[in-house]
Chain A
Amino acid sequence: MDLGNLASLKLFHPEIVLAGTIILLTILDLVVANKRLMAYVGLAGCLVALAATLELYGTEPTLLFHRMVALDNFALFFKVVTLVALVAAIWMSIGSGEVRQVHLGEYYIVLLTCGFGMFFMASGNNLLMAYLGLELVSLTSYILTGMLPHNRRSAEAALKYLIYGGVASGTMIYGMSWVFGMAGSLDYAAINAAMSQGDGNEAGLFIAFVFILAGFGYKMAFAPFHMWSPDVYQGAPTPFTGFLSVASNAAGLAILIRFFYPAVSTLGQEGIWTFQAFPALQWTDLLVAVSIVTMTWGNLSALNQNNVKRLLAYSGIAHAGYIMMGLVVLNNDGLTAMLFYVVVYLIMNLGAFLVVMVVANATGREDMEAYRGLAWRGAAFPAVCMAVFVFSLTGLPPLAGFIGKLLLFAAIIEGQFYVLAVAAIINTVISLYYYARIAKTMFLDDPGPDDGPVTATASAVPLLGALMVLTVVLGVYWGPLLDYTTGSLGFFMK
């Protein structure tokens, strides 16, 4: 189906709810003195939008607004991911000491707008729409990163983010213009048709695709477009860092998959995709190289970090490399593995940032020394949760991160990418060292004389508990989530 503007609105209620919430917040900001209310209104709006999204899940794939926006399970999956991350981020913000310093009204408005942009990154079915979604996310992210008042790190991070982002999006849109020139259209289906007819010069397309990949890779923090991430992670308010680390990564993956799979590849038998833009050039070799470099660079850089947020930034880069393993195999198993990984990464990484926030609230510090003997300083529960999260990030069973890695490993071994598999093995072992260092500092080291007690923020405990339980439960019984991600591979194609 291909709907016009008015007919589309009937299938557009998650976006309408979210946009309505943003407008409501803007008005409330002017009239309400108690800014805490803003958080609860935003939370309620996200929950309603979440319910609306889940209700739409499973509807027949449809194109909305004259082919601009796709409504399919794939887009809905990423909308759910974004909304869950938003809910968690707002919940974290309520208890965060850092967020209390900023203008709360604007903070929540911009945060929700950022999520709103991610909706269009996941569902844009036209290069223009995808680009607009991506830019909306980027602009709001710059603002949120630089929001902490009188904080030089925050300001520096925002500026770095802006400059890198400007370069990356310029590069990307330049690549898109090449594609437009060769395909004659920005619509994904039209691009696909042009590719399958062999329109366009192979080398030209290769260059264009590398440029586009750079723009997407910048959002996902692939090497060598990852330079912004450690500074931004460190400088931004922690709840937003948590949100950025999972949602921005997921949205970058969504836009990337939608472009490189339905738009420029063809789905053949048994879920195998054929990349048809330039059959003669070794596209997968490039992806393998990027994946290996990204995970190795991320892990090696993480080894010596002393700031936990910075360490998690490098670990995030490494995880972007792992996720990319699902991309090289060009089949539905790889796609399922990537989507599955997005969900488990969301859970464990948000959990880790929540603990960072708890410690920062109590001590005002984010460096490793602040975690010394955490388990023996009245924060046994956050410490145990953090241990669960970091070991899940390592990929140890019976935790959810293991299943995510298992699926990715399975995909590449089925595709016989053994070099990549060996690289991933070595990286897993390297990553254990710095993840275990966090656990070591929390449990094995004795607290120093100046290390005061840490009490978990009251609002953080239930979320922390929920994320930890999910990490363990999904590690033992992941069948339903696997079915859900497999079911989310429904694309609108033609």
Chain B
Amino acid sequence: MTEHVLSYMVFFPLAGMLVVLILPSGRHDLIRWVSAAATVPPLILGVWLYANFDTTTTGMQFVERAAWIPAFNIEYFIGVDGLSVSMLLLTALLSFLCIFASWGIDKGVKGYFALFLLLDTGMTGVFVALDFVLFYVFWEVMLLPMYFLIGIWGGPRKEYAAIKFFLYTLLGSVLMLVAILALYFYSEPNTFDMTKLMDRSSLYSTTPLAMWPFNVWGWGFQHVVWMALFIGFAIKIPAFPFHTWLPDAHVEAPTAISVILAGILLKMGTYGILRINYPMLPAATADLAFWFLAALGAWNIVYGGLCAMAQTDMKKLVAYSSVSHMGYVMLGMAAFNTQGINGAVLQMFNHGTITAMLFLLVGVIYDRAHHRDINGFGGLAGIMPVYAGFTALAFFASMGLPGLSGFVSEVLVLLGAWPKYHALTIIAALGIVITAGYMLWMMQRVYLGPPNEKYRDLPEINGREIFTLFPLGVIVVVVGVYPRVVLDLLQASLNNINQMVISHLS
């Protein structure tokens, strides 16, 4: 039983999808409960994994491998280290909660939940796959459900948003595919095994290629492959200038899908960089980290923050705040020290929980008022006090108030980045002020002030909605007070990843 725990986590939702598909399409509640049931085992197994995970070793744990396509050395090879476990927990939790956040969907219920469960399998698979082809398959399996979930159940401009998301991501993933194949043929004997490719990291050539413009920039094979992978991941993060799909997709997607997008899909970009670029292409990482991770990260923080400030749509504001907050992850991991990289991954986890809360909260008000215009509300705190309380918690966590989780990760990132990049750290710290600016301003316009007469009768947040928010709120507080619950998980694995690059820093 326990040796296949990861496979169960990946394929339970898929089994749930098959069950949903054979249910009669009129039985909406049955479909919803079956879907919820399909996301429970991964959550339980995730907790079990957390409890049984050995935090002292750096190697892959709970490994499973089986031959898949022997002619190309493709294997079914999965396993986890600390980095993956933290993301796996986030995925299991958010998938479970998002089923309940989707309860109100009543058009094409069967299709929605079937696609959602397929998406769940894809996301879980990405975080455990250790064979490149398997990784790529899971990575792409997410695209189709996402396209349809945004495109069918989304807002007014859903078609535009869905195809934009699809085209951007496909461009990134095809580039990634080419990079994967290049690594495959460069290795001898040819392999898609990610752990083996990491062990061979010193073999990938860094001698500048003869071709323009690589001869001018001094880029070798390793740099070009790094870049191809990086663009694929940067589109997911999303890093400037590849971020433009994100506000559209977030605004049009239904609430639960926005949560999944911001909470999990964005993390895949930074996860991929840490899992693949860092250990496999360390020399290129060391050379390119300043411009493409640190500087771009700092730019993301400020640019995303300023864009957020200009928004009048609550969802769009939260979307741009994601661009800003993911910048901390990039900056932190480019610091190549314990604080920086731990802060970065902790920020990935925290952003997953905090932004999930923010989107759920926006969804709550949208379900009631049917619009998200920041200037169209006022004084909601008096009308819906419990709701306003949750909102305040999420806003303060997002701003990085001490005692809440966002503070810990941002401070770690800034502490880590300071010794290496003084100027960028100062710029990044300004980002915190900008965040406080747009968050408090939104708070003031929506929740404070005289109550808007139009919305005097808005019903208070209901039990189902509290059920989706409460666990996230608890995590935000617990991680804020005692961050070691997550950090202990990460430390050994991340130090290992860090060490691989450090030796190449000049």
User: Do B148 and A443 touch across chains, with their CB atoms under 8 A apart?
Assistant: yes
Provide the bound-state CA to CA distance between A402 and B162, in Å.
21
Tell yes or no: A174 within 8 A of B by CB: no
CB distance from A250 to the nearest CB of B (A): 22
User: Do A406 and B151 touch across chains, with their CB atoms under 8 A apart?
Assistant: no
Q: How many residues of B contact A (CB 8 A)?
A: 32
Tell yes or no: B475 within 8 A of A by CB: no
Provide the bound-state CA to CA distance between A396 and B184, in Å.
20
Give the chain A neighbours of B185 by CB distance below 8 A: 410, 413-414
User: Do B178 and A444 touch across chains, with their CB atoms under 8 A apart?
Assistant: no
Provide the bound-state CA to CA distance between A3 and B237, in Å.
65
Provide the bound-state CA to CA distance between A400 and B163, in Å.
22
| Contact of B144 (CB < 8 Å), options: A396, A425, A483 | A396
- Interface window among A305-313, A427-435, A447-455: A427-435
Tell yes or no: A391 within 8 A of B by CB: yes
- Per-residue CB contact flags for chain B residues 433-473 toward chain A (1 = under 8 Å, else 0) read 00000000000000000000000000000000000000000
CB distance from B161 to the nearest CB of A (A): 11
Provide the bound-state CA to CA distance between A436 and B169, in Å.
14
Tell yes or no: A170 within 8 A of B by CB: no
Give the chain B neighbours of A436 by CB distance below 8 A: 147, 163, 166
CB distance from A251 to the nearest CB of B (A): 27
User: Do A391 and B151 touch across chains, with their CB atoms under 8 A apart?
Assistant: no
CB distance from B240 to the nearest CB of A (A): 20
Chain A residues 46 to 62 lying within 8 A of chain B, measured CB to CB, are none
Tell yes or no: B158 within 8 A of A by CB: yes
Provide the bound-state CA to CA distance between A425 and B140, in Å.
15
Provide the bound-state CA to CA distance between A406 and B137, in Å.
11
Tell yes or no: B177 within 8 A of A by CB: yes
User: Do A421 and B178 touch across chains, with their CB atoms under 8 A apart?
Assistant: yes
Check A397/B147 contact, CB under 8 A, given A425-B178, A429-B167, A479-B69.
Answer: no
Tell yes or no: B141 within 8 A of A by CB: yes
Check A402/B166 contact, CB under 8 A, given A413-B178, A425-B175, A443-B148.
Answer: no
Check A397/B136 contact, CB under 8 A, given A440-B159, A444-B151.
Answer: yes
Tell yes or no: A486 within 8 A of B by CB: yes
Provide the bound-state CA to CA distance between A428 and B140, in Å.
14
Check A429/B171 contact, CB under 8 A, given A398-B137, A482-B71.
Answer: yes
Provide the bound-state CA to CA distance between A483 and B70, in Å.
10
User: Do A397 and B141 touch across chains, with their CB atoms under 8 A apart?
Assistant: yes
Tell yes or no: A225 within 8 A of B by CB: no
Provide the bound-state CA to CA distance between A406 and B171, in Å.
15
User: Do A443 and B163 touch across chains, with their CB atoms under 8 A apart?
Assistant: no
Chain B residues 153 to 167 lying within 8 A of chain A, measured CB to CB, are 158-159, 162-163, 166-167
Check A406/B177 contact, CB under 8 A, given A396-B140, A397-B136.
Answer: yes
A-binding residues in B (CB < 8 A)? 68-72, 133, 136-137, 140-141, 143-144, 147-148, 151-152, 158-159, 162-163, 166-167, 170-171, 174-175, 177-178, 181-182, 184-185
28 contacts between A and B (CB under 8 A): A394-B170, A397-B136, A397-B137, A397-B140, A397-B141, A409-B181, A410-B72, A410-B184, A413-B178, A413-B185, A414-B185, A422-B178, A425-B171, A425-B178, A428-B170, A429-B170, A432-B170, A433-B167, A436-B147, A436-B166, A440-B163, A444-B152, A444-B159, A444-B162, A478-B69, A479-B71, A482-B69, A483-B71
Given contacts A398-B137, A428-B170, 16 further A-B contacts (CB under 8 A): A396-B140, A397-B140, A413-B182, A422-B178, A425-B171, A428-B174, A432-B167, A432-B170, A436-B163, A440-B159, A443-B151, A444-B152, A444-B159, A444-B162, A482-B69, A486-B71
Please provide the 5 A-B residue pairs with the shortest distance between their CB atoms, ordered closest to farther. A397-B137, A413-B181, A444-B151, A397-B140, A425-B174
